A and B are shown apart, each in its own frame.
Chain A
Amino acid sequence: MSKLAFRNVWVEYGSKIVLEKVDLEVADGAFVSIIGPSGAGKSTFLRLALGQEAPTRGSILLDGEPLSPEPGPDRGVVFQRYSVFPHMNALDNVTFGLDCAGSPLRGRLGGKDKKLAREAAKALLARVGLEHNFKTYPRALSGGMQQRLALAQALITRPRILLLDEPFGALDPGVRLDMHALITELWTEHKLTILMVTHDIKEAFKLGTRVVAFDKRRHDPQAPHRYGSTAVYDFPLDDKKSRAVPPVLKGLVST
């Protein structure tokens, strides 16, 4: 049973072709790492999945239904930066999703609902290791803590798909390892389907159940913009297989 399907998807900006002939099926519960050189359309692919952008040709289906053409609560997202709201403390950042769902007019829950929302948010914050920072504003949190907060914020609405755009790219190596452990645990606990764009090829193979590499299949030196990128390699990984980076990818992405 496939969940998210890309059928012959093309993205063109005028005469420039960014993505061509992307055919991908993402199964329920998969953790797909997306890699590729700069400018290979990884971020465009994520924007498609997010609904921030519509394909020029082809279709994107979620459970057989065309994907809604704008971002919605069924797909959570964590960006490399600016994922949390600077004017809300950690707790308010996390309850925001529940506020929106429960109070379409004021955007703030009241009474018993508010109490329940705060309890849920506190539990989730404690889960990601921010139990001592409920009242802290993002500015006062370290980069790693901000990304933990962003994860909690995204997970409160129980999205079916979590999209990660280089979520750990700006973090120190040690913090990054902690975050790898956290995201793997959250993926299992929340039964998420994850699409993660990353520059770090080792991270891609360490975390993913599947690694998809984007690159241009053809190259015209006279008109480089006329050929777009597509999924050139697709590695399904299971635990028995070695998670070493295949030699064929060595030239594709610098590690």
Chain B
Amino acid sequence: MRRLLNARPRVGGRLLLGLLPILALVLLYLVIATARHTENPRDKITPIPAAMAAGIQTMAFEPDPRTGEVPLVADTKASLSRLGIAVGLAAATTLVLGLTIGLLPYVRASLGPLVATISVIPPIAVLPILFIVFGLGETSKIVLIFVGITPVMVRDLATHVAAIPEEQIVKAQTLGASTWLTLLRVALPQALPRLIDSLRLSLCPAWVYLISAEAIASDVGLGYRIFLVRRYLAMDIILPYVVWISLLAVIMDLALQAWSRTSFAWAHPPRNVR
């Protein structure tokens, strides 16, 4: 008899095994929803699929009579642009700070402690300050996401750059590289795949901050919508919205991963199938 730790599923089997728990959860929900629906046809807490379909129809395919826009489309546009701007700014800042802190002892000595201090402040705790300073508009939401994810990303990248073997840095200098060329051609290319990894991990908190900011002060956005309809116990809208948000997050993650694999193939050793 083979030991359990040596038994491996085949490719098809792996897919099936991965799907099973998800299907089981969906099934469990359907059973509960149907049971509650039979008992009370006006139940709102666990909507049956037909009710959710109606909810999706209103939100995703019919324009809002007041604004003339389809709510889901407007919300998605607003949220993604906030997220995109904030994450883009965070990535650019991380690249500049992470590279210089990691590579240059003087910058590390002067900015390292500051970044370390900022990264322990819970971002939500400074949200009131952001609202006071930047108002309730787009800026404060973008700044919240930026403040929330950047310090950790900077620390991660700086650590990674500082861990580039000393031999490589010395070697570059013996080949005539200046500080600038060492940064540009030795540190930067090795930092980029790490930055993408770091972005993938940071997207999760970025969504948290986005939805928090939208829940508190906004008039459009995915987070705004689910907190708005919460007042009416509109689970038939909240649940599809949550699924949609998850889908967006998964697509972003896969896109970043694919980018890293195609552009920085050297950083991805061929995996042993296990």
Residues on A facing B (Cβ under 8 Å):
50, 52, 70-73, 75-77, 79, 81-88, 96-97, 99-101, 104-108, 137, 139, 153-154, 156-157, 159
Contact = CB atoms under 8 A, between A and B. Distances in A.
B181 interface: yes
Contact of A157 (B170, B176, B186, B269): B176
Contacts of A70: 173
Contacts of B165: 81-82
A73 B266 contact: no
Given A73-B176, A87-B266, A99 B170 contact: no
B212 interface: no
Contacts of A159: 174
Interface residues of B, number: 23
B178 A97 contact: no
Given A72-B173, A73-B176, A153-B171, 18 more contacts: A71-B173, A73-B175, A82-B167, A83-B168, A86-B267, A87-B190, A87-B264, A96-B172, A96-B175, A104-B180, A107-B181, A107-B184, A107-B185, A153-B175, A154-B171, A154-B175, A156-B175, A157-B174
B174 A76 contact: yes
Contacts of B170: 50, 52, 71, 77
Chain A interface helix/strand/loop/mixed: loop
B89 interface: no
Interface in B248-265: 264
Contacts of A76: 174-175
Nearest to A89: B266
Contact of B174 (A50, A99, A137): A50
Nearest to B169: A71
A66 B171 CA distance: 21
11 contacts: A50-B170, A82-B171, A83-B171, A84-B171, A85-B186, A86-B267, A88-B189, A96-B175, A100-B175, A154-B171, A154-B175
B151 to A, nearest CB: 26
Contacts of A71: 170, 173-174
B266 A96 contact: no
A25 B154 CA distance: 47
Contacts of B115: none
